Chains A and B, each alone.
Chain A
């Protein structure tokens, strides 16, 4: 292992260059994963500051802190940032960092594509914010309905930036999803059959397949919108036979599966990490894994529940309402599995446990309010009110942010070699949990009182003043909890207790390697014999034992083993690419192409397209080191 001649040669093979050159050219999934998480967290803070500005404006009636134009841009960018630039990227960060470690492999199936998905995400984020300093940020709400978003009513660059930025971001999501799907199918450790992979892997691969099928809808919708605005097409223009409702269909055909894409991997985090703190395996692994997939499959058939108030035929509303009710079943399966795990386990009430248990409670509240609005008449009453805002924040913050915070505490020792401070962790949970509920629970009441979403102020006589003040105070308490969490991260980076390989005595493969893991992850590729490779001696369910320190060495260049999709039988030795600038160059070329489209620069587009083509050909040029040619 560490220190032996083979590990020295593996380190030499897998280690990146030091300094800026290494930073820009790395394809190491661990570096990319950390970068994803940090970048997504920065976007979370930006989106959070926008939310606080909104809450200051709404704290009292008739405030004039923000103009209506500023308010529209702030709530739009708040939604865009949280939903697109934080929620999925942060989970991609977890999965990028963890997958090869969970799967007993040395990298993702496509390391260079992995680097590219990060760069394009970063550039798309910057692109979406490019018009913000000019006071021309997207301002049509995150779902950007036409005709408000069409040229006649919104002539500035605001919507064009949003449209092109989303198509650009879609490229990142797509290549990232391709990488996850192929990594699952091809690069698991021998013996890790499909019924032995961690639930986080189920969640991410389900989200990824969902994204591959759903993202084209939104990319197409935004492309059509941009063409309507800039090239004279009529897709959404009712005067020339177009249909504004087509926008809503395409957007929500994407939007609803996307909701599951940004929660299923987070639910996977809980399904894997919560049992560690209950000192027992997850109750109902198979049921939870299948409910994950079922949720996504059903998620493709419910998009119209976002459009109940758009005048569609009652028959169609009934169908989509019923389908939306059915989703409760797989969600409840997961909830009962978590509760049963806590109930029948021996819970350790530490900070990550609190975040995961808190998540279960918030998920139930968000689930109930979702169930309520799945009923058409209730939805007619409550849609476009603060009730919906309450629901979606319970769902997105409850199911995404709380598991992410718990997950950071859980895997922090693996990533950094140090444990986070437990006392600060508990305080940050209780402050953010209290702040969250203070901020978002009264929104249900505001919605029932009839306060519409997206209004920049309200009159005193409406009686919404007190609940709004409570909401605003809660928002600041929540923000304080997040700040304390970040303080804990920075403090623990320098002063945290040394963790060792497996500080939580957890069951999955990432805890069998050192903390932080070496560049090559595992000195030999492990051979897996059960779902809980590190708990086999404790659980003692059979004679079979996983082989952690004994396995394929694979040290003739960068190598990992390719295995069959279901049974994980080894069938090929895969050659893995080394560090390269090509992903960065290709991402830059694509971004310049989109900037040129925004600025209507024909020659810029041609030059960027050509540069991108050149980078792609260099990328794919057959190499002997990758076993693509013999000579």
Chain B
């Protein structure tokens, strides 16, 4: 006969912050996505180290768009963090504001990236450097787009009133991914824009 025992303390039920399975799932997703970028960077350095002649072929790329773009992404991470802190204290308004601001900043970043793509003198098929450039920044842009979709859906759910101080695991999980997208960009930025200036 099965006997039931009652736990000696009351356990939280359902998606409770960092106890939610989704939070752990996002950590593992970030692990494998991080590995994907590591292999992209490995490919970049491998091909760069075998290059004959100048690398990058047209010299180091200009910083006039990439530096503001970097600052915009960092700002996005900060405001969305501020919004998440808000909902932890029960302020749905702060979460909505944070998500909206990050969403706008992310869209501006993508617009700047597309402009940067457009003005490059090379295309995807010019040479191996251009292939790497568009593939790596393109993979990052794809991740930004996924992050923006997450932020947009989270914004919708916030407006619908799905989150409060107790229940907002989905928001924390989405925000974590957005931070990951920012961190990956810092690596992309360093490798493409800063590293060629250091050698």
Contact = CB atoms under 8 A, between A and B. Distances in A.
Contacts of A253: 39
B13 A627 contact: yes
A6 B1 CA distance: 11
A575 B128 contact: no
Given A227-B131, A630-B167, A235 B14 contact: no
Interface stretch (B21-29, B85-93, B111-119, B180-188): B21-29
Nearest to B29: A178
Interface string B26-50: 0011011101101110110011001
B2 A524 contact: yes
Given A1-B2, A220-B36, A572-B12, A242 B47 contact: yes
Interface stretch (B3-11, B97-105, B191-199): B3-11
Nearest to A6: B2
Contacts of B43: 220, 224, 235, 246, 250
Interface stretch (A179-187, A263-271, A411-419): A179-187
Interface in A31-56: none
A524 B32 contact: no
A177 B21 CA distance: 14
A448 interface: no
A620 B47 contact: no
B135 A227 contact: yes
Given A186-B24, A549-B3, A552-B4, A627 B15 contact: yes
A258 to B, nearest CB: 14
A523 B124 CA distance: 59
Contacts of A249: 42, 46
Nearest to A562: B19
B125 interface: yes
Interface in A410-456: none
A130 B44 CA distance: 33
A617 B11 contact: no
Given A186-B24, A213-B35, A234-B125, A622 B40 contact: no
A65 interface: no
B131 A109 contact: no
Interface in B123-179: 124-125, 127-129, 131-132, 135, 149, 153, 157, 161-164, 166-167, 169-170
A212 interface: yes
Interface in A590-631: 613, 617, 620, 622, 626-631
A574 B21 contact: yes
A505 interface: no
Contact of B170 (A237, A551, A620): A620
Contact of A234 (B31, B42, B127, B161): B127
B21 A186 contact: yes
B13 A630 contact: no
Contact of B31 (A186, A212, A233, A626): A212
Nearest to B9: A570
A376 B38 CA distance: 29
Q: Point out which of A227, A613, A628 has the most chain B C-beta atoms below 10 A from its C-beta.
A: A628
A524 B5 CA distance: 9
Given A622-B170, A628-B15, A241 B51 contact: yes
Interface in A315-371: none
B21 A549 contact: no
A185 B153 contact: no
A178 B32 contact: yes
Contacts of A186: 21, 24
B60 interface: no
A233 B21 contact: no
Q: Point out which of A227, A524, A561, A629 has the most chain B C-beta atoms below 10 A from its C-beta.
A: A629
Given A216-B39, A552-B5, A628-B167, A573 B124 contact: no
A575 B16 CA distance: 10
Q: Point out which of A7, A174, A216 has the most chain B C-beta atoms below 10 A from its C-beta.
A: A216
A241 B21 contact: no
B174 to A, nearest CB: 10
Contacts of B31: 212-213
A551 B14 contact: no
A452 B191 CA distance: 43
Contact of A241 (B13, B39, B127): B127
A550 B2 CA distance: 6
Contacts of A627: 13-16, 167
Given A7-B2, A182-B24, A241-B128, A628 B14 contact: yes
Given A1-B1, A574-B14, A182 B35 contact: no
B36 A219 contact: yes
Given A240-B127, A550-B3, A575-B14, A109 B21 contact: yes
A553 interface: yes
Contacts of A187: 21
Contacts of B161: 631
B125 A216 contact: no
Contacts of A235: 43, 47, 128, 131-132
A278 interface: no
A110 interface: yes
Contacts of B33: 216
Contacts of A216: 32-33, 35-36, 38-39
A212 B2 contact: no
Nearest to A109: B21
Contacts of B28: 177-178, 181-182, 212
A580 interface: no
Given A109-B24, A216-B39, A620-B170, A241 B3 contact: no
A562 B164 contact: no
Contact of A570 (B7, B14, B40): B7
Nearest to B47: A243
A231 interface: yes
Given A570-B11, A574-B14, A629-B167, A178 B25 contact: yes
Contacts of B19: 562, 571-572
Interface in A527-582: 527, 547, 549-553, 559, 561-562, 570-575
Nearest to B16: A572
Contacts of A617: 153
B37 to A, nearest CB: 8
A233 B130 CA distance: 8
A549 B3 CA distance: 6
B65 to A, nearest CB: 23
A215 interface: yes
A217 interface: yes
A572 B170 contact: no
A232 interface: yes
B149 A613 contact: yes
| A-B CB proximity, top 10 nearest | A627-B14, A232-B125, A241-B128, A233-B131, A216-B36, A572-B19, A212-B32, A550-B3, A553-B4, A523-B2
14 contacts: A214-B35, A216-B33, A219-B36, A220-B39, A231-B125, A235-B128, A250-B43, A551-B3, A551-B4, A552-B7, A573-B14, A627-B14, A627-B167, A629-B167
Interface of B: 1-5, 7, 11-16, 19-21, 24-25, 28-29, 31-33, 35-36, 38-40, 42-43, 46-47, 50-52, 124-125, 127-129, 131-132, 135, 149, 153, 157, 161-164, 166-167, 169-170
Given A113-B25, A178-B32, A524-B4, 7 more contacts: A216-B36, A231-B124, A246-B46, A550-B3, A551-B3, A553-B2, A575-B13
